[in-house]
Amino acid sequence: MHLFKQLWLPFLILTVPAVIFSLFLPYFPVDETRYLSVAWEMRLHDSFIVPLQNALPYSHKPPLLFWLFNLNWLLFGVNESTLRFIPLLFSLLNVSLVFRIALLLWEDERIARHAAIILSSTLSYLLWSSFIMFDVVLTTWVLLALLGLISAARWHSIKWWLLVGFS
């Protein structure tokens, strides 16, 4: 609950435009449509381990986002509206991670909150948070690794190195 009290404003700044974009923006040709078609082919061919494009293995990107699309379709049915919430959830997680990292570095909740607000109110981040692309998901893993590195340097615990390795 304490984290939500600190981050309600950055979450609101990020969520409102992303939901509006999600409701009114079509999928952008080339990237978003390609990623959705790869996930759809995985579904059609029951290939839930290996992503497929034109019935051939698609090894250009890691499969996590494709798996999340298929999980979304499994839980909510095949529809357009819920897919854009996957990157939004990762974006919200990124804001939380930036808050935690800033708190570790400066040990000041005000500075950490400002860091989260700056990230969530940046125009490019607002746009990317609702696009079906790998960038926001990749940023999550980079921020998790950074959190692990900073924490490992501070507390010298193996669990933080495990977080770095997992990331």
Domain spans in the chain, listed from the N-terminal domain onward: 2-23+85-166, 28-76
Confidence class of residue 34 from pLDDT cuts 50, 70 and 90? very high
pLDDT, residue 130, reads 84
pLDDT, residue 14, reads 83
Distances (CA, A) of 2 to 14, 95, 107: 19, 15, 15
Confidence class of residue 149 from pLDDT cuts 50, 70 and 90? very high
- How far apart CA 137 and CA 88 sit, in angstroms, is 10
- How far apart CA 98 and CA 147 sit, in angstroms, is 9
**Average of per-residue pLDDT values in the chain:** 92
pLDDT, residue 112, reads 95
pLDDT, residue 109, reads 94
**CA 1 from centroid of its chain's CA atoms:** 21
pLDDT, residue 10, reads 87
Closest CA to 150 of 72, 114, 98: 98
Q: Which of 19-23, 40-44, 87-91, 125-129 has the lowest mean pLDDT?
A: 19-23
* DSSP, residue by residue, 91-114: HHHHHHHHHHHHHHHH--HHHHHH
pLDDT score of 81 more than 60: yes
Q: Say what percent of the chain tops pLDDT 70.
A: 98
pLDDT score of 17 more than 90: no
